[in-house]
Amino acid sequence: SSDLWGKGIAADRGGDFVAVSDEDAWFTYYFWEDDSKAPDFARCIDIHRKPGYDPVELFLDPDLKFPLVKIAKFLAKKKLGFRGLMDVIPLNANLVKGSHGRDTVAPQEQPVAIGRGAGQVTSAEEVFFWIRDSLTNSESGDSNAR
Residues 28, 82, single domain; the answer is yes
- Write down the pLDDT at residue 100: 64
N-term to C-term CA, the chain: 10
- Write down the pLDDT at residue 2: 47
Q: What is the total count of domains within the chain? A: 2
Whether 87 contacts 81, CB under 8 Å? no
| pLDDT tens, per residue, the chain with 146 residues | 444 445 566 667 666 777 777 777 778 889 999 999 999 899 998 888 888 788 899 999 999 999 999 999 999 999 999 998 889 999 998 898 876 666 667 777 777 778 888 888 877 678 888 888 888 876 555 545 54
Residues 90, 134, single domain; the answer is no
- Write down the pLDDT at residue 79: 96
**Among 65, 83, 61, which Cα is nearest to 74's?**
83
Residues 23, 61, single domain; the answer is yes
Query: Which phi-psi region, left, alpha or beta, contains residue 49 (left: φ > 0; alpha: ψ -120 to 50)?
Result: alpha
Count of alpha carbons within 13 angstroms of residue 63, beta-carbon side:
8
Within a domain: 72: yes
- Write down the pLDDT at residue 14: 67
Within a domain: 4: no
Residues 26, 72, single domain; the answer is yes
- H/E stretch holding 94 reads none
